[in-house]
């Protein structure tokens, strides 16, 4: 499950994992060290790869939400399918504001500015162009969904498109 910040990867990923009886892993929980405030210090690439490889190996059925671009081919091609969520920038930014206020009590203007550049950004960092290039290189099916519907409807679309049976 991947897409821009605010596209709904965590929400839909958690929902799918719960309904399918799968393990849920948020990529950011591996990418970032636990700091206060959060998201200040990255784990080393080697440690991220080690942790994600262990998670993949230990889970019978796994849903990963977030970006694993540049984590290494063994990680990036370890999935049976990739769900790529898109949403209009306005929708994504409103979701980010709501989430940040709920989780942290305030919105981080620098993060909001970074997230706003996703659609028009170049190949540096996470951008639509970079995501599309990365997805084109994957060895598994990619399901692109515009995530403007309610999570239940999105989950049904994933089940139907990927032929998944709810647990």
Domain extent listing, the chain: 2-162
Secondary structure class of 142 (helix, strand, coil):
strand
- The pTM assigned to this predicted structure is 0.93
Distance CA 5, CA 103 (A): 15
pLDDT of residue 165: 76
**What is 2-162's CATH number?**
3.40.50.300
The residue assigned the tokens 């839909």 is 12
Q: Residues 84, 3: contact at Cβ < 8 Å?
A: yes
The residue assigned the tokens 């970074």 is 114
Q: How does pLDDT run across 27-82, given as a tens digit for each residue?
A: 999 999 999 888 999 999 999 999 999 999 999 999 999 999 999 999 999 999 99
Tokens linked to 37 = 């405030």
pLDDT of residue 38: 86
CA 137, 59, 50, 41 torsion: positive or negative?
positive
Q: Give the strand pairing for 82-86 and 2-3.
A: parallel
């Amino acid at each position: 499950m991947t897409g821009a910040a605010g596209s709904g990867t965590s929400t839909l990923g958690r929902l799918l994992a719960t309904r399918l009886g799968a393990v849920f892993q948020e990529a950011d929980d591996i990418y970032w060290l636990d700091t206060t405030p959060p998201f200040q210090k990255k784990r080393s690439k080697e440690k991220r790869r080690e942790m994600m490889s262990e998670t993949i190996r230990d889970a019978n059925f796994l849903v990963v939400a977030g970006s694993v671009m540049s984590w290494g081919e063994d990680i990036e091609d370890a999935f049976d399918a990739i769900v790529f969520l898109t949403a209009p920038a306005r929708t994504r930014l409103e979701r980010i504001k709501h989430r940040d206020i709920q989780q942290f009590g305030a919105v981080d203007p620098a993060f909001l500015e970074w997230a706003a550049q996703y659609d028009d950004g170049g190949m540096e960092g996470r951008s639509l162009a970079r995501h599309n290039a990365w997805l084109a290189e994957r060895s598994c099916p990619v399901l692109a969904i515009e995530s403007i519907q309610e999570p239940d409807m999105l989950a049904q679309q994933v089940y139907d498109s990927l032929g998944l049976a709810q647990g």
